[in-house]
Amino acid sequence: MALIVRSRDRYTGTPSDFRLKLSERMQGRYRLQHAALSNTVYTFHENCKFRFSYEGITYDATIPYGFYDANTVCEGLKTAMCDQIGTSNAVSVTYEPRLGRLRITKMLQSAGPNNELVILGADASLAHSCMRSLGFVTNTWGDVDGSVLADRIMDLSANSICYHVLLNNTCSISSAHDGTHATFVFWNTATNSMGLWDYDQTHWTQSALFREPTRELHIRIVDANFKPLPMQGEWSFVLQAC
């Protein structure tokens, strides 16, 4: 017996957190056979922080959650940095495609000992940091032209989501992970922001044991830290009795 679970069939909730009534009772062990998810989780699924020093003052710029590519992330980072500094043209942010790196340049030069731009990529204390994703992993001072080139290639796929699908119901579900819910893990490796990601039988086997007859499921999608993920589209998966 196969059970097709579709978020659009929910009777309450959102694609990220919903409840579903089943036409037949489930009991016994079921393995995850297939899953299909539109890659509609934002590139940055929470407001991300970027730390830098400008003329001796340290700032934490905030890039809003959303979809980004190499061009729009430059615009977003520039806006976030300039908003913190308080001047609209304080810095420029460009992407160098031949190098695959970001370059940040201090546009307004001033006299004095603290006229530098420093990107603080080595600060591990920064919560919700996007420094590594944008290629900044060390504290880097601007050159004579006030320009800072990222240490590494920008890799927005570093924010690829590990979907943890939690199945809770009114009865008891048991799995290797927890006595109250089963956890299925999907790695999102899609590169197109609206691409379709598939989990199939070529992946490792994952299963859940329904110890009691079950007619209702509570399904949630969370990240690797079990923080809710804001899915923007419908999705589905198939459980096969085994």
Closest CA to 218 of 3, 8, 17: 17
% the chain with pLDDT above 90: 28
Decide if 37 contacts 26 (C-beta within 8 A): no
Helix (H, G, I), strand (E, B) or coil at 48: strand
As a whole number, the mean pLDDT across the chain is 79
Domain architecture of the chain: domains with CATH: 2-41+161-241 (2.60.120), 48-158 (no CATH)
Q: What is the average pLDDT across 79-106?
A: 92
Q: Determine which of 25-29, 51-55, 155-159, 235-239 has the lowest per-residue pLDDT on average.
A: 155-159
Contact present, 6 and 234 (Cβ < 8 Å) = yes
Q: pLDDT grade, residue 80 (50/70/90)?
A: very high
More confident: 27 or 53:
53
Interstrand relation of 48-54 and 117-120 (parallel, antiparallel or unpaired): antiparallel
